[in-house]
Amino acid sequence: MSEHFGTLSDGTEVHRWTLERAGVRVRVLSYGGIVQSLEVPDRDGHRADVVLGFAGLDDYLTHPGPYLGALIGRYANRIAGGRFPLDDLTYALEPNTPPNSLHGGERGFDKRVWDVTPVEHRLRLERVSPYGEEGFPGRLEVTVTYTLDADGALRIAYEAVTDAPTVVNLTNHSYFNLAGAGSGSAGGHELRLAASRFTPVDGDLIPTGALDDVTETRFDFRQARKVGAGYDHNFVLDKGVTATAQEVAELYDPSSGRVLTVATTEPGLQLYTGDHLPEPFAPGAGIALETQHFPDSPNRPEFPSTVLRPGEVFRSETVYGFSAR
């Protein structure tokens, strides 16, 4: 089901699409590929929206910074100095968080209108990112598919091809509050992460290049515990890059009984506890679990590569599963 959601200043119409299956209902915008709402039942069968979102298009345009529920690209997370080397050339990007580039630049994929095609229980979103968009090389053809599986899991599959060497790192930036959006802080949620290492960062949140052991640190979520606040860090998933999505995380809300599991093909996961969410949201109102390659990988040859070349196909998949206990 689709409906008109608003109109941009250039006259482009934005639509909202709804998928519903197995008691789960998700609403997705053609603007930014945004997951506006995601309703799932609690232990008593009562359904509530568990992601942060705005009611109207103007709110997303006025408050772009949190990237609420949006598709992120061409490069999720940070690139140091807003530049990177590739094949003996250096590319300068839009430094939207000076001096660094964040989440694809000033007008990344989160601020673009996507072409949406509905297929049974899924939405296929497509767009072409032209050569030089936000400074990135290559003409990139991108397809992102949102699918509601038979059990109500939300599956996000990413594909991209390029006509010139480039870098690609795609994710979704939903903030989860399993007690329900607007219910207060999500800091009491319990998190388990299959990650024995993380990438420490400098004052600008750029990785130092080290892969530190989480043992006896506040980054050790190998056994489930309360999340708290103060996280905006990439975790090195023990499984590494995989051809199929493997479960790497579980988030649990004791008050509602809702459980979120995260499975992915990606080697990293950014935990962001929403400490700087703007009004009308309070700090800590939602937790982002962004599956990804590591931040600043184009400048870190020791990290898993994010380079995509002509003739190759970028593929990534993340599955958000829901249950209650």
The SS3 assignment for 241 reads: coil
State the average pLDDT over residues 256-270.
Answer: 98
With vertex at residue 105, the alpha carbon angle to CA 27 and CA 170, rounded to the nearest 5 degrees, is 50
Are the C-beta atoms of 274 and 285 separated by less than 8 Å?
Answer: yes
What share of the chain has pLDDT > 90, as a percent? 98
Radius of gyration of the chain (CA): 18
Domain assignment of residue 262, given as a range: 2-324
Instruction: Tell me: is residue 78 an annotated ligand-binding position.
Output: yes
Cα dist from 249 to 187, 217, 272, 322, whole Å:
16, 18, 14, 12
Instruction: Indicate if the pLDDT at residue 279 is higher than 90.
Output: no
Phi, psi of 125 (to 5 degrees): -105, 135
Which CATH number covers residue 168? Answer: 2.70.98.10
- Quote the tokens at residue 314: 């970028």
Query: pLDDT by residue (tens digit) across 132-145?
Result: 999 999 999 999 99
Query: pLDDT by residue (tens digit) across 91-125?
Result: 999 899 999 999 999 999 999 999 999 999 999 99
What total of structural domains would you count in the chain? 1
Are the C-beta atoms of 292 and 77 separated by less than 8 Å?
Answer: yes
The SS3 assignment for 80 reads: helix
Give catalytic residue positions.
173, 290
Instruction: Indicate if the pLDDT at residue 308 is higher than 90.
Output: yes
Q: Give residues with Cβ within 8 angstroms of 77, minimum separation 6.
A: 102, 103, 169, 234, 270, 290, 292, 294, 295, 296
Query: pLDDT by residue (tens digit) across 38-81?
Result: 999 999 999 999 999 999 999 999 999 899 999 999 999 999 99
State the average pLDDT over residues 244-268.
Answer: 98
Instruction: Indicate if the pLDDT at residue 1 is higher than 90.
Output: no
Instruction: Tell me: is residue 232 an annotated ligand-binding position.
Output: yes
State the average pLDDT over residues 29-38.
Answer: 98
The whole-number pLDDT of residue 45 equals 97
**Mean pLDDT for the chain overall:** 97
Instruction: Tell me: is residue 155 an annotated ligand-binding position.
Output: no
